[in-house]
Structure formats: C-alpha cells, structure tokens
Amino acid sequence: MLTTVSVRLLDVPFHLDRPFTYLPPADGIAARVGSVVRIPFGPSNRLVFGIVTAIGEGDGADLKTIREVLPDRCSLSGEMFGLALFLSDYTLCTLGEAVRTLLPPTLFSNRLNVRTERSYTPVPDAIRERLSDAGRGKIRSEEVRTALESLLSDPAPKKAEDLPLTPAQLRTLVERGLFTVSEREVIRNPYAELSAERDAAPIALSRAQTAAYEKILSLPADKPRAALLHGVTGSGKTKVMLKLLDGMLAEGKTAIVMVPEIALTPQTVGIFCRRYGERVAVIHSSLGAGERFDAWRRIAAGEVDLVIGTRSAVFAPLPRLGMIVIDEEHEHTYKSESDPKYHARDVASYRCGVNNALLLLASATPSLESYTKAKNGQYTLVELSERYGGARLPETEIVDMREELRHGNTSPISDRLAAAVRETVERGEQAILFLNRRGYNTALQCRACGEPIVCPRCSISLTYHTGRDGGNLLCHSCGYRARPPRACPSCGADALSYLGFGTQKIEAELSAALSGCRVMRMDADTATGKQAYDRMLDAFRRGDADVLLGTQMVAKGHDFPRVTLVGVLSADSSLYVNDFRAAERTFCLLTQVIGRAGRAERPGRALIQTYSPGNEILSLACRQDYPAFYEAESTLRRETVFPPFCDVVVLLLSSADETALFRAAKDLSDRLLSLAGGEYHDLPLTAFGPFEAQVYKVNDRYRLRMILKCRNSPRLRALLRTLTVSFADERKVILSVDINPLSV
C-alpha cells in the first residue's frame, strides 16, 4: 500500500467540487491537510492549484503525482482549514472559493508581491586605494572623487537616492568593488506613523461604562460567549472595547476588531495603533494588494496581536484568538454579496466557538437578529443608555416638505434647513447633510409618452451626472455611460425633463444659496483613489469645509466635535421600497446620522426633511427610541414570518437568453417541489415564485428568483446543494443561492 493524498481543486465548478486522489510529490516534500499544492489535472495534465483534504493509503494504480507543495506560509493551519470547510458548507460555495477567501490572491500569482529595498555600503579600503595616486584604475571625475571622499567619513549603508551619484556612476562603482549591495524585504504599512505616536494612558470609564465592562468581564472565560453592547450614539462604546482589549492582550491572547468600511478612518485606526503600537495590523479594501499581502504575512508570522479591519478581517489567521469585536454590527457591509455569500457575524461566531473566545457585538441600532438573540438569552445584553461626558442627544425636528411646496419652495432644501446651515456656519461650527443619492438628477423622462431613459443593459433609469464635458447619463448598476439625447428615443418628442435630485444638485444649490459656505461633497464620485475617504474626512476635521454633504459614507462612524447640525434630505426615500428590511434600514440610518451632531460640549440639532411627517418609523428614529422600534418591528415580522423568526433563501436564476431563463425557472420550481415533497418532506419550507428580481435585467442578463422561508440547517443545505448540482448541465442559465441576503 502506498501513501495517497486527497486533493480538492481551488478553481472548479460546484458540481465537480470533490476530492481527487494523487501520489505524494516525487521530491519528498511532505504534504499535510491544509497544504496548497499544484497538480496535473485532466487529459492535458494542466497544472492547477488544489488543497490537501486528507492523507490515506491506496494501491497507487494509475494515480498522478503532485508536482509541487507550496511553502507553509501559503497553507492553512488546522483551525483555518476547518474554517474553510465551515464556510463552504454554510454558504454553499466550493471549497476552492472558501480557500481563496482566506488567503491573499498574491499567493497564487506567478510572482509573490514582495517589495525589497536595496542598500549600498561603501568599502573604505577599496575607495582609498582608488583615490590614491598609486591606485589602479584611478578615478578621474572630480564629482565622483568628491562624493567618495565624503562617504569615507560616513560609510553606513544608504539607499541609492541618498547617494550623491547618478545610477550609471553607482553601477560602475559597484562593478569595481567600491560598494557592496544588500537587499531586504520591506513591509508596506501605511499606518506605521500612527503606531509611532504611542498613547497608552489608562482608560478612564464612567460609572455606566464600568458597569458594562464588568458585566462582560464576568462571563465565563473557559467557553465561548457572546455579548451585545447596545449603547446610544456617543455613549463611549469604544472605551469599553479598549478596556477589554487591554486585558485580553495582557493575557497573551489576540483579537480582531471589525468596523464597517466607511468607519475605517485614520481617527478610528489611530485609536488602536497609538495604543497598541506595531503589534497592530490593518486590513481593508482601500489598501493596495502589496499592503494587504504584507499585513497578512505579519499576521501569519505571529507578529501581530490585534487586527483592525472590515469584513474580510474576520479571516485573519491569528493564533490564541481571545476576542472578536464587530462594531456597528447592524451594518449591511458585513454581508458579502459575492461567493462565498457569508455574513461576518456567522464566521465570527464559528471562530469564537472553536477558540472559546468572546464575541462582542456593538451598535446603537442592533440588527433585529442580534437583539432577538440578546432578548432570548443567547447573547448577554449590555446597555449604555446615556452619552459619555454629559453630552446630550441632538434636538430633532421633522420638516414637512409638503408645507414647503405650499409656500412656493420647490428646492430640495427647505427654508428651515437653509437657515439652520447659515446660522451654524456663522457661529464657526460645522454641519453634515445626508442624501442617499449621488448624481445631479435621478432620472430623465419624456413628458409626452412618460417613458424614462433606461440603461440598454439594465432595467433601471439612467442618472444624470454633471461634469467638465457637459454631463452624462450613467447607470449605477453596470457603469454604462451616454450623452443625454435631444429627443425621446421612444416617441421622438422633444419633451425630455430632468427629475429628482442627487448630491451634485444639492452641492450646487447650497453653494448658490449660501455664499461663502464651503461645501465638501463625499460620495462614490468624489471619494476616488486610494485612501480618498481618509483624506477628505481629515480635511473636514481640520475645518477645511463648513458642510460635509454626502451619501451613506458620511452617516455613521464619525466623531466631529465641531458638528452641531445634521440635515437629512428625503428621509423617507428608503422607507417605501419592496423589502421587509426597509423600516429597519431607515430607522438605523436616521438614528446613526442624527447621532453625528452634538458629540462634544456644544449642543446638537437635527432636521429631518420628509413628505411623510406622520410616519412612525421616522418619529421613533428622531427620539432614538430603539426599544419601541424593536417591539413594533419584531411584532410585524413575527406575524408575517420574516427574519429573525425564520430564515430566507433566494434562488436567483440569470441568463442572457430570456427564453432559456423561463424554461429553467419552471424546471427549478418543479425540482424544488419534487424534493420538498419527497426526500426532504420533513423540512419546514414555504416557497414563492418564480418571479422577476427587483431589477429584472442587469448587464444584459435577465433574472428570475424564488424565495424560500425556512430554517437554516444541514438538511436544508443538503436540499439546496442537490438543487445546485442539478443545474450543472444548464449551460445558458446560472443558479446562485443566497442564504439570508441583504434584501429580498
């Protein structure tokens, strides 16, 4: 019997995601479970990547041999391999997709993205000989002689740019032995300067914060535990986290602190880097590939005790994991919308279970799922009901935009909001204005036939954006761009009208109405480039602008002491959409943005513009009354059977061929009904559809979906896996499965 190795491929369709058996590599390098290998596959023996899943024995007949075992740094530890298996099972992705999620992409490139730094060290004896009159190959250039003479008094290693020599001169001198060359790897860390500014002062907690800290600390440390830190905006949840981290790191354990993408600013990262120094690594999407690779290398090498980052930070390969913190845990950015379609909260829960660690969720507006678990005792509920340092919650006023129209104001900015901004700026204070729409106008519509200008690739209206070239219509789904037509493409009438408003239009109207007011617009159109968010937020914090206008990226996670006014334009725009989470999403967003005002000694004020002033959700958000919102919303969800009182699965079919799509949709429905009535008859399951997705056509692909109300379980996932595999032969149609998606 020979030793055999079971390998699953990293790039393979779902229906082929199974083990293949190989012989160990001929060079004798041992492969272990979790090793990444290169193997010959298929009739052409094309070299592909795979991961070892088991070591066994067999007769070895007709087996191919593993060509290469990648270094240990490219492999998964026992815990991380288990995490990959969990991710594959829980989200119905292939094991290869899970492995690639856990490892940086650079590891699979032909050349590792390692940056090196070259140093040049003068050789004094060789230089003196060449400078002497008797030396061989006497140096005749006075410029070079002068440069070499200066280096005799300072022969330390130097970078090429620090030497008074041209590249050609330096190259010649190296060839003649007057310099030795050495190289070392350079770790790219854009936050290194923050780590150098150490601030390890003791954390002073208020009475309420101390009670919260002690309640979390009292949880048994020898088993997994979870706590929900529910605190109003500005209550000082971060200080409680820091106090817990101090103790955790002092015990020699490691920790992960996760934040939504938009909250990851120099201010946020700086708090942790200044406190814990170089033992901190930062992971988020704005980093370059090399910076992320170097952060991962430091973590894998055990040089890091604390990882700060966005959703993907939950996969940091830290040993001795003691705590995972998910700040603003209600945020939608913690759910991935591409394979693997995981929620960071589920992954964090798994990792804390494996490591007997603490899972700490924190939010002023917890998700209904988390708050229900806290109410049921699955999480420990910890409350902070007052702002830190005596600061008061902002006074909030609802502005009825119907009254503005009656008084002749057709602007999207109410007279009251314009006056409040003017008064705020005149006092030397700052304001934040929130509008969750970018662009200038949201639609271009024909007054004759009523048809809007729609993206030719997607079934959504094009948004008008101004620009130096005179403006374009842009699709916010696929990126299609076109010049505005002069006549209606549908009926040919010269009756096109621009409708709606976005951040560009508000910026223009503010600048026109308030002369001298400095407006900074921050949305996906202005915050482009590496770390653009950071630079803009720093500039606003320095006082380079009076008003920060933007989309969701300005709404939460920020602490600006001089901001005393918050204005919300079109507060009900997210309320009346066809999604069971619409009320929750609106409440959370309004509560968070209102909480940006009055966080220091100056009182804050918030103005909420709406055409539905009597809406209960808006009133509850203005009062920051989460318990009342939870009771009302959870009652509705329970009666209509929606999460957290069930799980929801979306089966999405997409195809460029509309006829093939409808045929596949009927097949999907028939197969599901057959399985649910047969082998899986014991599963509690309610199916709806097939029907059109909310956006029927995206990037030239038509989409139909089925929605299942169910309970997530191994049996349910087995049913979904069977359905997915059954579509392997359907070449024109793609079936994707999303368990508990962001929207339905």
User: What's the token pair of residue 185?
Assistant: 């790897």
Q: Give me the pLDDT at residue 532, please.
A: 78
pLDDT at 309 over 80: yes
Contact between 164 and 150 (Cβ < 8 Å): yes
Q: Under 8 Å CB-to-CB from 65, ≥6 apart: which residues? A: 22, 23, 24, 25, 26, 40
Q: How confident is the model at residue 289 (pLDDT cuts 50, 70, 90)?
A: confident
The alpha carbon of 437 is separated from its chain's Cα centroid by a whole number of angstroms, namely 20
Tokens 């943005």 correspond to what residue?
593
Counting residues of the chain whose pLDDT is more than 90, the rounded percentage is 66
Amino acid at residue number 4: T
User: What's the token pair of residue 428?
Assistant: 């030397």
Q: How confident is the model at residue 483 (pLDDT cuts 50, 70, 90)?
A: very high
- All structural domains of the chain, each given as residue ranges with its CATH number in brackets, are 2-108 (3.40.1440.60), 124-177 (no CATH), 192-389 (3.40.50.300), 395-440+501-638 (3.40.50.300), 443-498 (no CATH), 647-739 (3.30.70.600)
Contact between 461 and 499 (Cβ < 8 Å): no
In angstroms, the Cα distances linking 325 to 299, 344, 523, 698 are: 17, 11, 27, 36
In the beta sheet, which residues pair with residue 283? Answer: 309
How many other CB atoms sit within 10 Å of the CB of residue 470? 8
Tell me: the pLDDT tens digits for 335-377? Answer: 999 999 999 999 999 999 999 999 999 999 999 999 999 999 9
Q: Which of 126, 127, 164, 121 is nearest to 143 (CA)?
A: 164
Tokens 């008008």 correspond to what residue?
464
pTM over 0.85: yes
Q: What are the CB-based long-range contacts (under 8 Å, 24+) for 126-133?
A: 126/176, 126/177, 126/178, 127/151, 127/152, 127/178, 128/152, 130/176, 130/178
User: What's the token pair of residue 393?
Assistant: 């919650």
The alpha carbon of 708 is separated from its chain's Cα centroid by a whole number of angstroms, namely 27
The secondary structure element, H or E, covering residue 491 is none
pLDDT average, residue stretch 293-300: 89
For CA atoms 457, 458, 459, 460, give the dihedral sign: negative
Q: Which of 481, 450, 448 is nearest to 463 (CA)?
A: 481
The torsion region of residue 40 among left (phi > 0), alpha (psi -120 to 50) and beta comes to beta
First CA to last CA distance, the chain = 54
Mean pLDDT of the chain: 90
Q: Give me the pLDDT at residue 147, please.
A: 87
Using DSSP's 3-state secondary structure scheme, residue 229 falls into strand
User: What's the token pair of residue 23?
Assistant: 């012989």
Using DSSP's 3-state secondary structure scheme, residue 583 falls into helix
Q: Which of 302-306, 553-557, 728-732 has the highest mean pLDDT?
A: 302-306
> For residues 227 and 219, what is the distance between their CA atoms, to the nearest angstrom?
9
Q: Give me the pLDDT at residue 442, please.
A: 93
pLDDT average, residue stretch 198-207: 84
Q: Give me the pLDDT at residue 639, please.
A: 96
Tokens 């008061």 correspond to what residue?
392
> For residues 559 and 599, what is the distance between their CA atoms, to the nearest angstrom?
7
pLDDT at 462 over 80: yes
Q: Which of 648, 664, 90 is nearest to 344 (CA)?
A: 90
Q: What is the DSSP letter of 720?
A: H
Lowest-confidence pick of 140-149, 365-374, 496-505: 140-149
> For residues 720 and 714, what is the distance between their CA atoms, to the nearest angstrom?
10
pLDDT average, residue stretch 265-271: 76
Contact between 503 and 435 (Cβ < 8 Å): yes
Q: Under 8 Å CB-to-CB from 346, ≥6 apart: which residues? A: 90
In the beta sheet, which residues pair with residue 255? Answer: 306, 323
Could you tell me whether strands 686-698 and 701-710 are parallel, antiparallel, or unpaired per DSSP bridges?
A: antiparallel
How many other CB atoms sit within 10 Å of the CB of residue 743? 15
Q: Give me the pLDDT at residue 111, please.
A: 61
Q: Give me the pLDDT at residue 600, please.
A: 67
Tell me: the pLDDT tens digits for 527-562? Answer: 777 677 778 888 998 999 999 999 987 876 677 889
Tokens 């935009």 correspond to what residue?
401
